Every structure is written in C-alpha cells, then in structure tokens.
Amino acid sequence: MTERFEGNFTQQEPISEEAIAAAVEVMRSGRLHRYNTAPGEAGEVALLEQAFAAFTGARYCLAVASGGYAMGCALRALGVGPGARVLTNAFTLAPVPGAIAALGAEPVFVETTENLTIDLEDLTAKARAGDVLMLSHMRGHICDMDALMEIAQAHELRVIEDCAHTMGAAWAGVPSGRHGVVGCYSTQTYKHMNSGEGGLIVTDDAALAARMILLSGSYMLYERHLASPPPEAFAQLKYDTPNVSGRMDNLRAAILRPQLATLPERVARWNALYAAMEAGLADVPGVALTARPQAEAYVGSSFQFRLPGRVADEIQEIVARCAARGVELKWFGAAEPAGFTSRHDSWRYAPPQAMPRTDAVLAGLLDLRLPLTFSQADVAQIARIIRDVLTT
C-alpha cells in the first residue's frame, strides 16, 4: 500500500492560553494603540521591546508592523534613498529586495553557496558597489559571520541582518541580528513567534534607534519607550525625521510576550524535527544536504535539500509525485514565482543580473516547512515518502 501523509504543512500551533488572556485584557481595555496607555502603565509594546532587547542582548529595540517594515525602516535610518545601491543575497524572499526597491534604491545581488549562504568571495568582489549590505539569513542558514564582518569592516559596509528565519539562532554564541548595525526580525505567522504580522528591530546605535523610533511614528512620545535611547538622542532628529507610520499595536505585543519566554523550548523542538528529517534523507542517492557549521546554532523550522544534476522536468515530476502523497515541497528553481517562493529574476523591480552560481544552486533546491504541529513520527513518514519518490 502506498504511504500518504495526511498532515498540514501550514498549520501552526494554537496561541497559548496565557497569550490569549493577555490579548483579551488588551481588547477589554480598548487601548490597542501603543501610546494609548493608562497613567503609570507601560503598555504591551514597550514591555515586549524591553524583553526582546534583553533576549538579544541589544541596547535598543523597536516593535513594528511587519518584518518588511523593519527592513525598510532600517534602510531609511541609514540614509538609503533613490539611486543608492544596496547589496543583498541573490537567494532570499521577495520582501528583502522589495524593501530596497521601495525606497528607489537598487538591489545588487550577491551569489549563493551550495550551503545556501551568501558567497563571501562574491561579496568581496562587489563590496565597493554600495555601502550597505542587507544580509538575509535565508531559510535559517547563517554564513561565517566572523569572516563576513571582516569583509564588511575592510570595505566600510554597514550590515543590516534580516533575521526573519533566525530568531533564536546564533553564530559562535552571538545571537543572530547582533553582528551588524541593525537586526530585523519578523513575527509573521510562519516565523518563530506568531502575531499574524509584526516585526522587531534591534541596534546598539543610539542615533539609529532614535531615527527608527521617529520614523515609525512616535509623535514625540518616544519617552514612553522602555528600550530606547535617552531623550537627548532625539533632540536634533525629531524635527527632520519623517513619520512613516508602522508601529506595532498592544494586541499583537500581548500575543508575543508569552511566546518570547518559551522560544528556547520551541527552538529545541524544531531542531529535533530537523534532525529527524536529516536522518531520514542522509543516505538517499543523489540528495545533497546542507552542511551546518559547528559555530552555527540554528533553528530548524524548515528543511532544504538539493538534487544536483536533475533537470527541470524531473524535479517538477518529483514535486508533483510528493504532492500526490501529501508532501508539499517548494522548488526554488521554477521559472515563475509560486506562493512564497520566487527567485532573483522574478523581481523585475531590480535590474537583471547574471547569477550563474546561484542559478545552479536554485535549479535543484527543494524546501519544506517543519511546523511544530508535526511529530517526529510525522517527519519520519515525510522522509520515507520523499525517499520512495526519489528512488522508485
């Protein structure tokens, strides 16, 4: 009998009762706006910022409406505007180059290695093309951050880290998002904390933090923040920084605060699922798995494998056969964007750029989510189905 998986790749865990109770309390108060607080009340957003700053070891934190807004806000705060060129990964998701192009700036793509990280050799060659790198830790894969930061410092590149897939991860003990000048995170449903949409920004730079708080729409109420620079940091900026409103609200922050406390436990569960999938595919002929460096403390919330040497028609057939048996694979080599999956030549708001190494990697790259609603038995079954499809 042919085995079929009956689980759901997009079904997340329910919001905890503690988070639901906190959200209900906010709704009963009617004070959803982050600055609409009672006398003596900090507010859920300010408390979340304080907690996330402590979690990452950052001096300052700002909660915003989405991960995409976080990146755009960081770029604006660094002075990126029309005509600027910003380096970024060729292998990422559309919101990353989209945040650059939305400011009238030009994404400059950097090649991708077979381990799905930014190619440091190509980064070195292109480092003079701009003075900002939007580094995407795509699908939770972290490059050698010590080597990358050496390149950045040598070429005076300011690094923004897109940590949408690496909240809770680290490189050599340093939390993801804490190597560059700014770290940006997402709390969209499929990320490591779930508020539907949402984002967080961290930095140690007081001027950048003040500028981002003003950009987000503080209406001169920045003194109500608990993880912000002192008032004097805003003194010269407050008259010249435009309001591009993108604040997080108290309802979403109330949902997120309890999740932050349990994030390490969820990371351990994701990594157990990842290890089970890795074990299930480790010896399948023709499958290339991603090497995870010892210095990388990753969060295995999704899984990637490559099928080097397979042509497009073969991979399309593999995806279709897996789908017929309940296993949803995403293929990054498809010519047309599908769902959350696209590639650099799909983003026509960026100038066409030759990316032969990236194209070779993406041509055989398959990806699947590992939601925490899966058990290890579920993952073992998924691996068996993929193995069967690939070997029969």
- The pLDDT value recorded for residue 313 is 96
Tell me which H or E stretch contains 306. strand 302-306
Query: C-alpha distances in angstroms, 294 versus 117, 271, 272?
Result: 15, 14, 17
> If you average pLDDT over residues 320-325, what whole number do you get?
97
Which of 124, 132, 126, 123 is closest to 100 using CA atoms? 132
> If you average pLDDT over residues 318-333, what whole number do you get?
97
> If you average pLDDT over residues 208-212, what whole number do you get?
98
Beta-bridge partners for 369: 302
Tell the burial category of 84 from Cβ atoms under 10 Å away from its Cβ (0-12, 13-18, 19+).
middle
Tokens in use for 356?
A: 């032969």
Beta-bridge partners for 170: 175, 297
- The pLDDT value recorded for residue 340 is 78
In this structure, the strands spanning 106-110 and 365-369 are unpaired
The answer to whether residues 112 and 119 touch, using CB atoms and an 8 Å cutoff, is: yes
Backbone conformation region of residue 27, classed left if phi is above 0, alpha if psi is from -120 to 50, else beta: alpha
The answer to whether residues 180 and 159 touch, using CB atoms and an 8 Å cutoff, is: yes
Q: What is the DSSP letter of 234?
A: G
CA distance 203 to 224: 18
Please state, for a pLDDT cut of 90, what percent of the chain lies above it: 96
Question: For residue 384, what pLDDT band results from cuts at 50, 70 and 90?
Answer: very high
Q: pLDDT per residue over 9-56, tens digit each? A: 999 999 999 999 999 999 999 999 999 999 999 999 999 999 999 999
- The pLDDT value recorded for residue 336 is 86
> If you average pLDDT over residues 170-184, what whole number do you get?
98
CA dihedral sign of residues 143, 68, 226, 213: positive
- The pLDDT value recorded for residue 337 is 85
Q: pLDDT per residue over 337-370, tens digit each? A: 887 788 999 999 999 999 999 999 999 999 999 9
Which of 326, 289, 237 is closest to 114 using CA atoms? 289
Backbone conformation region of residue 271, classed left if phi is above 0, alpha if psi is from -120 to 50, else beta: alpha
Q: pLDDT per residue over 115-174, tens digit each? A: 999 999 999 999 999 999 999 999 999 999 999 999 999 999 999 999 999 999 999 999
CA distance 277 to 256: 28
> If you average pLDDT over residues 285-300, what whole number do you get?
97
The answer to whether residues 134 and 160 touch, using CB atoms and an 8 Å cutoff, is: yes
The answer to whether residues 103 and 82 touch, using CB atoms and an 8 Å cutoff, is: yes
Angle between helices 250-261 and 263-281 (to 10 degrees): 70
The verdict on pTM exceeding 0.95 is yes
Q: DSSP letters of 7-19?
A: --TT-PPPPPHHH
Q: pLDDT per residue over 67-118, tens digit each? A: 999 999 999 999 999 999 999 999 999 999 999 999 999 999 999 999 999 9
Please state, for a pLDDT cut of 70, what percent of the chain lies above it: 100
Has residue 389 got a pLDDT over 90?
yes
Has residue 324 got a pLDDT over 70?
yes
- The pLDDT value recorded for residue 215 is 98
- The pLDDT value recorded for residue 338 is 83
The 3-state DSSP class for residue 171 equals strand
Query: C-alpha distances in angstroms, 243 versus 237, 272, 328, 366, 381?
Result: 12, 43, 41, 41, 50
The answer to whether residues 37 and 226 touch, using CB atoms and an 8 Å cutoff, is: no
Query: C-alpha distances in angstroms, 361 versus 91, 112, 286, 292?
Result: 9, 7, 14, 17
Has residue 335 got a pLDDT over 90?
no
Domains contained in the chain, CATH given: 17-261 (3.40.640.10), 263-391 (3.90.1150.10)
Q: What is the DSSP letter of 48?
A: H
Tokens in use for 40?
A: 């003596």
> If you average pLDDT over residues 325-340, what whole number do you get?
91
Question: For residue 1, what pLDDT band results from cuts at 50, 70 and 90?
Answer: low
Radius of gyration for the chain, computed over Cα atoms and rounded to the nearest angstrom: 21
